[in-house]
A and B are shown apart, each in its own frame.
Chain A
Amino acid sequence: MHENGKRDCMNRCILGLDKALSIFGKALVGVLACGVIISVILRYVFSIAFVSSEELLTMVFVATTFFGAALGLRENEHIAVNSFTDKMPEKAKRVCSILAQVFIIIVSVFMIYFSIRMIQKVGKVPSPATRIPRGFYYGLMPVSFVITIFYAIVNILKLYVPIAEPVKGYKEDFELGLEGEA
């Protein structure tokens, strides 16, 4: 019973993080689209151009990349070559799956450690347009790669204990196809 309680709590935490990242991601893409549209209208209709908007929108885009990549690990959205592992026996497939997550963790650890070093070194340098310290932007890297490590561990645990499936909230391309057929 106690074990089940712990597992429920863990699942709630994982699903909560999934949802938070999902909402954050939607907001980022929404801001990106609206930001570009507004800057186009301001530039072409009112002849007003903000130099800082380009920098801010680029940073929003960078954030979509790093946080989306972290959530992509949970939702199995990363592009990989699966044609070899698909043909492997179940046990070998499981070993490869664990190895893949271990390599993701190794890369993430390097990213976190060296991005923090980078922030310490050049973090106070102001950005060219908004004059915001670069460290503020570079901070996206360690934060997103901590989440990446968390999801990689979840993926390994998932092979041994029941963990709730992620809720994607959208249909895959082939699912749209099946819907059309029906």
Chain B
Amino acid sequence: MELSMMFFALIVLLVIGVPIGYAIGSSGILYMLMTNPTFLMTFPQRVWSGTESFIIIAMPLFMLTGELMNHSGLTRRLIDFSMLLVRPLGGGLGEVNVVASMIFGGISGSSVADTSALGSILIPDMVKKGYPKKFAAGITVASSTIGMIIPPSVPMLMYAMVSGASVGKLFLAGLIPGILVGVTQLILTYVISRKRGYHPVKEKIDTKSIIKITKDGSLAMLMPVLIIVTVSFGIATASESAGIAVLYAAILGFFVYKELKWKEVGNALKKTFMMSSSIMIIGGFTMIFTWILAVEQVPVAIASFLLNSHIPSWMVFLFLDILILVLGTFLDVTPCILLISPILLPVMQQFGMSELQFGAIIIVGLAIGLVTPPVGMCLNVASKICNMEIVEIFRGALPFIICNIVVLLLITFVPAFSMWLPSLMG
């Protein structure tokens, strides 16, 4: 009864627009008042424990890295580098969009940042080169979903916080699914572009330019490689690795690309402060929610219900995918991870799914939510860039989102796609 009231209160508060963290806090207070008011003594302690984590320091530092790189003129350099990479295929800006998203994702760790940075340059460029606006915006938002799948990934850090999974192994679990989404989208873009005649005539490029573009692009690409290698092989913790990434981004911005200004560093610090706290305050209040679920043994009850109902595990897994896709259309990525992981992870573990596979599924699934109306953050950003209705952009993105759904099903039913790389670590 108390639990139902808590969930009901949470839904009502979310609907009336109470910020998610405070909605969780309010419903938690209601539960404690109804069950045992002495529980309230532990209320601030649980919120505190949800924010007190050395590993999660990596989150603001990765955000800061992305901000510094954005202000260092990295985006244009990455686009030029991606153009060079797709040249042998005879590809155009559609393919460049996907390749640049794959590289950019390894730097920013955020899909929204990817849509904003790449979309602001590529959508107008693509329209100028004769691509329909709907296609240009569609491929931009769809490919930006790769940003939060390819490591480093801010949502993965949040999942690591609630699940206790190893950050290094999680990064590796997301690598193959991220590359798969990219490759399938790349193939589809190539096929569509070839059929509709979007591919440009190859222009000549001199060796000097090739060397410069390769140097600039490789220096940027070195960062995700550095992060993945150091974290995954236990050379450095996620926070230390993020610290190295900040230093590397600052050196590139100030001394190599020479485009970073001190004023922009200040702005990047402020933006990081605000973004990080808006996520972490939800993380703090979610600890109350997690504690209540544990006290009430909700995951155990759901798992025993499903096990006693003799529902085949494939059906449970399929239901998980559908649930993630549906929730992703209404809730933002981080709150969704923080809210559903404590309930569903123990249930899925009962069905033999590992925490790493569950992490990969939830990240790939929720990335799709970023490009589906009504709460598609990437759609909103793209809509502001190209002045198009979000539903129109969604229609343009739909063929490419199917690639994401195929990968989601693959990692759900073939664990090796997410588990093989982490298993190499032992």
Indicate, yes or no, whether A interacts with B: yes
Task: Please report A residues at the B interface, Cβ cutoff 8 Å.
Answer: 22, 25-26, 28-30, 32-33, 36-37, 39-40, 43-44, 54, 57-58, 61-62, 64-69, 71-73, 75, 77-85, 96-97, 99-100, 103-104, 106-107, 110-111, 114-115, 117-118, 138, 141, 168-171, 173-174, 176-181
Contact of B19 among A62, A80, A96, A178 (CB under 8 A): A80
For chain B, residues 288 to 340, give those with C-beta under 8 angstroms from any C-beta of chain A: 330-332, 334-335
Residues of A within 8 A of B270 (CB): 22, 25-26, 29, 168-170
- From DSSP, what is the main secondary structure of chain B's interface residues? helix
Select the stretch in B95-103, B145-153, B204-212, B272-280 that faces chain A: B272-280
Question: B314 CB to closest chain A CB, in angstroms?
Answer: 32
Q: Are B44 and A40 in contact (CB under 8 A)?
A: no
Instruction: List, sorted by A's number, 23 A–B pairs whose CB atoms are closer than 8 Å.
Output: A25-B270, A29-B273, A32-B61, A36-B61, A37-B246, A40-B240, A57-B54, A57-B57, A69-B278, A79-B334, A81-B330, A83-B330, A83-B374, A84-B16, A96-B16, A100-B17, A100-B18, A100-B19, A170-B267, A173-B112, A174-B384, A178-B384, A181-B385
Q: Are A30 and B244 in contact (CB under 8 A)?
A: no
Q: Are B267 and A169 in contact (CB under 8 A)?
A: yes
Report how far A104 CA is from B381 CA in the complex, Å: 28
| B25 at the A interface (CB under 8 A) | yes
Question: A149 CB to closest chain B CB, in angstroms?
Answer: 12
- Most chain A CB within 10 A, of B47, B112, B331, is at B47
| B380 at the A interface (CB under 8 A) | yes
Q: Are A65 and B276 in contact (CB under 8 A)?
A: yes
What's the A-B contact tally at a CB cutoff of 8 Å? 233
Q: Are B244 and A29 in contact (CB under 8 A)?
A: no
Report how far A57 CA is from B272 CA in the complex, Å: 16
Q: Are A65 and B15 in contact (CB under 8 A)?
A: no
Question: B75 CB to closest chain A CB, in angstroms?
Answer: 8
Question: A54 CB to closest chain B CB, in angstroms?
Answer: 5
Contact of A141 among B13, B44, B60 (CB under 8 A): B44
Q: Are A180 and B273 in contact (CB under 8 A)?
A: no
Question: B12 CB to closest chain A CB, in angstroms?
Answer: 10
Closest 10 CB pairs of A and B: A68-B277, A180-B120, A36-B243, A78-B19, A25-B273, A174-B384, A177-B385, A173-B116, A69-B281, A115-B44
| B113 at the A interface (CB under 8 A) | yes
Residues of B within 8 A of A100 (CB): 16-19, 22
Q: Are B269 and A58 in contact (CB under 8 A)?
A: no
Report how far A72 CA is from B274 CA in the complex, Å: 6
Report how far A73 CA is from B22 CA in the complex, Å: 11
Residues of B within 8 A of A39 (CB): 240, 243
Knowing that A61-B57, A168-B270 touch, tell me 20 more A-B residue pairs with CB under 8 angstroms: A25-B269, A32-B60, A33-B243, A36-B57, A40-B236, A58-B53, A61-B56, A62-B51, A80-B14, A80-B20, A81-B17, A81-B330, A96-B16, A100-B22, A110-B40, A110-B43, A141-B48, A174-B380, A176-B120, A177-B385
Interface size on B, residues (CB 8 A): 80
| B165 at the A interface (CB under 8 A) | no
- From DSSP, what is the main secondary structure of chain A's interface residues? helix
| B389 at the A interface (CB under 8 A) | no
Q: Are A117 and B18 in contact (CB under 8 A)?
A: no
Residues of A within 8 A of B121 (CB): 180
Report how far A80 CA is from B23 CA in the complex, Å: 9
Q: Are A79 and B19 in contact (CB under 8 A)?
A: yes
Residues of B within 8 A of A67 (CB): 277
| B166 at the A interface (CB under 8 A) | no
Q: Are A79 and B278 in contact (CB under 8 A)?
A: yes
Report how far A68 CA is from B19 CA in the complex, Å: 14
Residues of B within 8 A of A181 (CB): 120, 123-124, 385-386
Report how far A79 CA is from B272 CA in the complex, Å: 15
Residues of B within 8 A of A104 (CB): 18-19, 22
Report how far A106 CA is from B70 CA in the complex, Å: 39
Report how far A179 CA is from B22 CA in the complex, Å: 34
Q: A25-B270, A58-B52 are in contact. Are A82 and B57 (CB under 8 A)?
A: no
| B271 at the A interface (CB under 8 A) | yes
Q: Are A174 and B47 in contact (CB under 8 A)?
A: no
Residues of B within 8 A of A81 (CB): 14-15, 17, 20, 330-331, 375
Q: Are A54 and B54 in contact (CB under 8 A)?
A: yes
- Most chain B CB within 10 A, of A72, A96, A171, A178, is at A72
Q: Are B277 and A69 in contact (CB under 8 A)?
A: yes
Q: Are A79 and B244 in contact (CB under 8 A)?
A: no
